[in-house]
Structure 1
Amino acid sequence: MVEVSRPVKWALRLLALGYVFLLVAWPVGLVVQHTFEDGLTNLADTFADPDIVNALKLTVMVAFWAVAINLVFGVTISVLLVRYEFPGKRVLSALIDVPLSVSPVVVGLALLLVYNGRDGWFGPTLEANGYQVVFDSPGMIMATCFVALPLVIREVVPVLQEIGDDQEQAARSLGAGARQTFLRITLPSIKWAVVYGVVLSTARSLGEFGAVKILSGNYTGRTQTATLVVEGKYQNFEQGTAYATSFLLAFVSIACLVVVAFLRPKKTH
């Protein structure tokens, strides 16, 4: 291990703190400052606007279903990748990272081409049976699931690899079924990884913009989410409302991270 002098350590710490301050703390702090520069007026105006309230409710609904779906499939895929060997395993692992490398706008356009009701692959059939995906909540949930999927998996997979499968094999040798083994052995061992994955997925889902904008159509009062409200209000020179809405989104995400950080038990050595 290379020994680093004290001045170099302090320089590296200051560099890291300065980078985080300029990139994260300062911009977020400015949003908070502008939100409350007139007291609670901006927040009061935000909650008094029925279109914004509908957008906030829609955002929460889309995020809830996206996180719930990603929770089930994320944990399932994580167990599949770590505990089983099968052809195409590396391909599946690589595909999971696609949402992190592809622009959400591209994702939204791709889903639009597949599910639109005019000439999409599945859209006309679905709409003929009374199911509308594009320009409605199903398409928005689908897009949000896509962009947030890796966050649960990449939290759970390393923990599954670290704990190994000795306890699971012991439980099965004593007669426990797959369901009992998962609920009593595997899930308690990965619960905090799952919680962190859910929190990160929630934050990502609440802030999704590009893919949702394409698939929602941005119809005020019907398919407009909170992030789309921020764009619309800011472009219409209603910056106070835009700042207040941004503050609410950031507050919920940061509050989730803080609560989990306090609730998570400290490691004992």
Structure 2
Amino acid sequence: MLETPTWLKWLLRLVAVGYVFFLVGWPVETIVKSAFADGPGVVLDQFSDPEVVHALVLTGQIAVQAVLINLVFGVTISLLLVRYEFPGKRVLSALIDLPMSVSPVVVGLSLLLVYNGRTGWFGPTLESWGLKIIFSGTGMIMATCFVALPLVIREVVPVLAEVGDEQEQAARSLGANFRQTFWRITLPSIKWAVVYGVVLSLARSLGEFGAVKVVSGNVINQTQTATLLVESRYESFDQPAAYSIAFVLAFVSVLCIVVVSLLRPKASHS
């Protein structure tokens, strides 16, 4: 087997680092620099603006609810895909990846066509029951769940497949029921995949824009999330506010991913 020349290794590393820097690092650094161009006081002042506070709180509420929903269904679907054989399994697996290949705007438009209170397939019926989907928090949560659905599943499925089901079968042979087997055997073996999937899902949910914009109506102090507020402030030439809010969203997402990345290797050796 031929050994790769040292110069080629360094060249590949340089290309990889340069690609990530120009694609991710530089734009993020520009946001940070712009947010603090006039000092940290500009960023802190945004938290005294009721519109900003409402948008951030609403974004957090929607993201947390979407993550919890995706956590439950993500782990359930992962177990279904790995532990059971059933007709349509390949179709289900392909559908899970659909949110990664479809534009979020298309997702929002699809929800609008189905759940619109006037012309949607189910919207008029649901509204007659007092349940409003479009232009409400419910529709925003649905849109966010859709775009972030694959992240938990694609983290958990490979780990479930790798650990196998021998210990689960042994537990069931000793009289453990499904609940006991799941909490004592299955969940501990996939806990870090679940945690990492949740963090990725949270980061994705916090930054969702296209689908939420279509189904929310973007009403100030009602259905305007932080990402929509960034667009609104930027278009109204309030760029310090736009940069500050964008920085807060990016900081929270990056912080979550960094913390989990630092903790995960330590846990794996404990």
Q: Give the alignment's TM-score, normalised by structure 2.
A: 0.97
1:259 equivalent in structure 2: 259
Shift of 1:184: 0.4
> One-letter code of the match for 1:75?
V
> One-letter code of the match for 2:69?
I
1:195 correspondence with 2:195: yes
Task: Give, in whole Å, the separation in 2 of the partners of 1:258 and 1:211.
Answer: 27
1:180 correspondence with 2:180: yes
2:44 equivalent in structure 1: 44
Tell which deviates more after alignment, 64-73 or 44-53.
44-53
Task: Give, in whole Å, the separation in 1 of the partners of 2:72 and 2:6.
Answer: 47
Shift of 1:23: 0.6
Task: Give, in whole Å, the separation in 2 of the partners of 1:33 and 1:56.
Answer: 21
**Identity percentage over the alignment?**
70
Task: Give, in whole Å, the separation in 2 of the partners of 1:7 and 1:117.
Answer: 63
1:156 equivalent in structure 2: 156
Give the secondary-structure state (helix, strand or coil) at the position aligned to 1:3.
Answer: coil
1:8 correspondence with 2:8: yes
Tell which deviates more after alignment, 40-49 or 193-202.
40-49
1:97 correspondence with 2:97: yes
The residue correspondences of 1:203-218 to structure 2 (distance < 5 A) are 203-218=203-218
Shift of 1:2: 4.4
Shift of 1:127: 1.1
Task: Give, in whole Å, the separation in 2 of the partners of 1:19 and 1:2.
Answer: 27
CA 231–265 in structure 1, closer or farther in 2 if over 3 Å, else same: same
Task: Give, in whole Å, the separation in 1 of the partners of 2:229 and 2:177.
Answer: 49
1:222 equivalent in structure 2: 222
CA offsets per residue over residues 129-158 of structure 1, 9 Å max, x none?
Answer: 211110000000000000000000000000
1:119 correspondence with 2:119: yes
2:169 equivalent in structure 1: 169
CA 255–8 in structure 1, closer or farther in 2 if over 3 Å, else same: same
1:53 equivalent in structure 2: 53
Task: Give, in whole Å, the separation in 2 of the partners of 1:90 and 1:159.
Answer: 19
The residue correspondences of 1:140-151 to structure 2 (distance < 5 A) are 140-151=140-151
CA 189–237 in structure 1, closer or farther in 2 if over 3 Å, else same: same
Task: Give, in whole Å, the separation in 1 of the partners of 2:146 and 2:4.
Answer: 43
CA 234–2 in structure 1, closer or farther in 2 if over 3 Å, else same: farther
Give the secondary-structure state (helix, strand or coil) at the position aligned to 1:264.
Answer: helix
Shift of 1:126: 1.3
> One-letter code of the match for 1:191?
K
2:34 equivalent in structure 1: 34
Runs of 5+ consecutive residues of structure 1 not aligned to the other structure: none
2:86 equivalent in structure 1: 86
CA offsets per residue over residues 80-101 of structure 1, 9 Å max, x none?
Answer: 0000000000000000000000
CA offsets per residue over residues 135-185 of structure 1, 9 Å max, x none?
Answer: 000000000000000000000000000000010010011111011111100
Alignment root-mean-square deviation, CA:
1.2
Task: Give, in whole Å, the separation in 2 of the partners of 1:79 and 1:93.
Answer: 12
Give the secondary-structure state (helix, strand or coil) at the position aligned to 1:19.
Answer: helix
Task: Give, in whole Å, the separation in 2 of the partners of 1:221 and 1:41.
Answer: 24
Task: Give, in whole Å, the separation in 1 of the partners of 2:147 and 2:39.
Answer: 36
2:234 equivalent in structure 1: 234
Give the secondary-structure state (helix, strand or coil) at the position aligned to 2:39.
Answer: coil
CA offsets per residue over residues 29-83 of structure 1, 9 Å max, x none?
Answer: 1100011111123213311210111000000000000000000000000000000
Q: Give the alignment's TM-score, normalised by structure 1.
A: 0.98
